[in-house]
Structure 1
Amino acid sequence: MELDEAFGSVGQFGRSQKRLTAFLVLLQVYVACQSMLIVLVGAVPEYHIDQGEIPASTEELARHVRFADNFTSIATEWYLIRHEAYKVNLASSLYFAGLLIGNIFFGPLSDRLGRKPVYMSGSLTNLTFAVGIAIYAFLGYYIREWRFLAFVSNSPGVFFFLLSFMLPESPRWLYSQGNTAEAEDVLQYLACGNGKERLTIKLKPCAGTMKKNDSASGVLNIVRHPVLRCRTIILMYIWYVCSLVYYGLTFSAGELGGNLYLNVALYGLIEVPAFPLCMFFIEKSWSGRRKTTTSFLIFAGFACIFTIFLPDNSGFFFSPTLLALCGKLTISAAFNIVYIYTSELYPTVVRNAGLGVCSMTCRFGGVLAPFVPSMKTLNPSVPFMVFGISGVSAGFLTLLLPETLNKPIAESIEDLQGPVYQMLKNKKVNQLEENT
């Protein structure tokens, strides 16, 4: 039987698939704690310097600074304030640099070794990531010693690592590699988990296997063709801005006044309404993918810019905090749509390569994001001005991309060339057939 037919026989989304999905969804809570770790572990409590002048050396600073004792962090232990504060941002940037390296090396590796060994066997929900941020804030509220907080936040990684050995390999990937017998075994395992023990799976031999240089050739095709090259440049900037503004606003939660833990939780939970919102708008004919992405990016940009003009003591409903939360809501929605929109803008033959390039660009935004909030030393309005200009510019650039709602997804690069190109191509093919 065909692979899709086999999936229908074993159960498209039965108990086995639900258990695997639950495991991968819970993993997002752990990933969220990792991404947000530095927000609380590197937070700076209120402090007082005994003498009038700011000490020039760290040793002098340690003798004269007095921190509030409501929590500890790497900043309180190693006096990472004033001229040493950049080290906290650097630690966060190194985390995203690690993600960038992972994209470069482990993405292509997943096509060689499979999805399970490099842990890319499914698409995880961003919604759980947002809830994970709130859970991390809850942990930080009750665990004020930074080493113990880091231990509690990191320890689930061992649990997920051990359980990951229970994950089966992707049957689609196995089948594409020509490993038909192994794909049948995985499908049989899923069938048993779905209560279909007596089902026998026999797949047709695979017509062809994935080439090892598919990723490299896909990137070359993106660079070679003007339509794809233009789309990629625009999408790279959009992904970069989404990451820069999303993580920049998230890290800014520690810079806002009021309760640190409540701010972090709100910056996570505010994303929850973003997902039903974007799912509603992108399926409407009057909005679609392009207009919705544009609107969310521009709204996020202006929300950040308008925070500059509101005083801190204007109340919650007219405060910079509320506008910043609105910016986080809309940039989160835009980020979620971009994944879908990008997949539809690339033809099937180069889709993985295009997503890989955009994902790598996204990590550069994450690397720079921790340093933007620290630009408030130049002027308090600078960080939100950077976020605002970035969001607005990315929103207007999105208008240069085509709409993909209710349109067939291109299978080949030639499908992007337009009807005139297709007519000439068909005419040439007909002439060759007549000559032969």
Structure 2
Amino acid sequence: MQNSQARVDNAAKVARVASRRLALLPRADKDAALRALADAIEAGADDVVRANERDLTRGDAAGMPANLQDRLRLTPERVSGVADALRELAALPDPIGDVVRGSTLANGLQVRQIRVPMGVVGMIYEARPNVTVDAAGLGLKSGNAMILRGGSAAAATNAALVEIMRTTLARIGLPADTVQLLDGGREDVGALITARGLVDLVIPRGGADLIRTVVTQATVPVIETGVGNCHVYVDAEADLDMALAIAVNSKTHRPSVCNAAESLLVHQSVAADFLPKVLAELGGAGVLLHTDEQASLAAQAAGVSCEPVTDADWAAEHLAMELSVGVVPSLDAALDHIAQYGTQHTEAIVTQDRKAARRFTSEVDAAVVMVNASTRFTDGGEFGFGAEIGISTQKLHARGPMALQELTSTKWVVEGDGQVRV
């Protein structure tokens, strides 16, 4: 642990030096650097994919589930998508230097609150190698140096991506230590999250165990990104064709990610019409259905296999082609269910009743609340933020998809002409 602490402390110290340089860069230089990184990653796509294949082979031999392999996999098309995310980031406004608020006081003092970089940000994440590039890009654009600790499942892929980025940064005259990758095992995680005074912020992104460990053990400030036990509630006044499309898309579009729906709640007044259709489509798509008694009867009538839902199913973030389905007697019951099992990530209502929609958006405690839209839209890119560094389910500083502004702090600048306090 001592060696890990020394290694991480040294990484943080050189990151601090890099962050001071980044904080002074004008937008044009940062955007040019992002475009250079994108070009270099695309040029090195063959090397990245080969490294990724080694990770996938190792994961397959270790019995990695298919949904996790999907999160890990980088095809040439996905590598191009990663590079394009950097180009999109370059096109976004630079938040650094923005005046959040300001005024001139009665005594003539000019007071301004200005956005500034955090400084040194640690990122701990699992088998999502695109996060490696997204985090580095967001850090560069917001003036932060990033210390990355990716999951061991993506070790070769992450190393290839970081090597490309560090080489490119050095070539264009920027500090290579703008982005660093830790590869020293779990001891490095412990050292990173306790490097208080050297690291300004830590962001964990991954499964519940990872997030819980970081939140409970860190002495560095943490932004908690969340587990996504997301619900779709089909209200009594729902357009059932719309509800069908939203429920299916929320579950099946990409089931291995945190904004995929894990539970479907249906108002009892529309259950007889809606459940046979939606369960048939979900079952036909290969979704394993965990159903309550009424939904089980509808599944049997539709010729769809299912199994009885348990409390563990209702609480689970499946991250797979599995869905818990139940019937509720009222909007109140749906709200109570979500309050009990939800994880404050994303919740959706399908309804044509504006009063019901207003109640849902007001009473559901979640980072994102959807009305007549798929849960899959909870995403920084979909919100127009460019790449995201995670989806925060906490309530301090940042909540929901986190992008450039969430990687900034502020400082107060006060200008006078000799005023003294009396």
Provide TM-score, normalisation by structure 2.
0.22
Larger proportion of helix: 1
Provide TM-score, normalisation by structure 1.
0.21
Name the larger-Rg structure: 1
Q: Which structure exhibits the higher relative contact order, with contacts defined as CA atoms closer than 8 Å and separated by 6 or more residues?
A: 1
